[in-house]
Structure 1
Amino acid sequence: MNNEEKLAYWRNAIIALVLNNVENKMPIKEEDMREILDKDKMLFRQCLPLVIQSLKKVYGIILQKVPDTKKYICYSELRVSSTVEYDEEQCRHLTLLFIILSYLLMKDARVDEDLSKYFTEQLFDFLKGLRIRIDEEHPYFKDNIKKLIGETFVKQLYLKREKSDSETDLETRFLYSWGYRATVEFPAKDVLQQTAQILGKEPREFVAVYNKYCAEENEETMVVD
């Protein structure tokens, strides 16, 4: 094979790896992509732009590096127009994720998770108010809600979980915020608009959130007082 054919071969090998990771939403490690190339850094640098270009052109998939890491996420550049495009489990997960992201957005701050025996604070109290108890099976969300939030969504980078650095905490506590994947797949202004619609309100009524995520896009840069 000539050099061009070799590049095409290795490009396709990396694309196959990426496509196998699209559905599970897990980040792809750079070292796993380089492993296909016998860890050849130079060859990886040559192949990566071709992989990114082909994924977008042929499959409509964006391969994007996670800032300050050696990991990549992949996602469709096309917005999903209907939940029909998801299976039942994906619909459940997406619904729960939207509820959490919406709550975090409206709070416009990270929320605490108390890792004692009973989860009683902020995010989990909010879910409990919606009759979603993380340690009980839910009629719609089923079981493993605690694992879905604390492990799966975090590993998928939909949620970011950090240890609290407060010296007054007697037990380990965590802070939740939007993860990197959430920021690229769910524009904050869209989540605000959808949440406002559900609540029967205008986005402008949520002054702090609207000013932060929407007002700057207004051509007149009008800020709500």
Structure 2
Amino acid sequence: MQSIYTDASVYKLLTPQDDAEHAFMCRLAGDAASILELASGCGNLAARLAQRADVTGVDASPEMVALATQAHGDRPGLCFVQGDMRTLRLERPFDLVMAVDNALQHACTDEALYAALGSIRAHMGPGSRALFQTGLREPETLDTLNHARQKVGSAIDACGVTFEIYGTSTFDPATKVNHRVFEIHKDGAKVAERTLTMRILDSAALQQALARAGFSIARAFDESGQEVEPQARPGPTHAVRTYECRAG
């Protein structure tokens, strides 16, 4: 079964653009003149950041790189390259390195996570910042992740066609890896089926990983963009946290 990242049309249905979230990321980017975005997907955020900075978007999926390049590749100061965030070495520093929109959750083992964090540090120079944003679930809520097939939403494509989306979720408590299967239906018939596999992180585990990799948290923000105490525990279920970090 194919991943959601192998099909541009399905990816767009499952990951609609969030203009408010992009505006928040641009605000946090501030006056950074050079930006590296890991797991840049279809390139919409990178294109918006490129309105005032030189931006390099990196994604492991050749289909996503092709989609981003087709949509935004003619913008000055913006380029997209295929690469694995665990091993990426572009041999240059950036003012800001971003691993947002759950990018770190694609690292499904401790080894992969620390390798990705090492890649981020390798692209930071004196005064550089890193932005990490991910959805977090606290340990006591993990039993809610397993669920049978259920409707998770609907989406309208660029031609105005409505699709119904159903999902099944299987969570492995030993590895904390969640495997989701999405079914896309049109007029009552299934037209596509795609998978998404991600590791579930809790706030303590993520902060420990950042500290072990040599990052210090300068600021933290909740899902509404409000600044919170870095050590503040997220809410009872799913919560999004954004951490602005420096390399110590």
Please report the TM-score for the alignment, with normalisation by the length of structure 1.
0.24
What TM-score, normalized by structure 2, do the two folds share?
0.23
Q: From the two aligned structures, give the one with the greater strand fraction.
A: 2
| Larger RCO, structure (CA 8 Å, separation 6 or more) | 2
Higher Cα Rg, which structure: 1
Kindly indicate which of the two structures has a greater share of residues assigned to helix.
Answer: 1
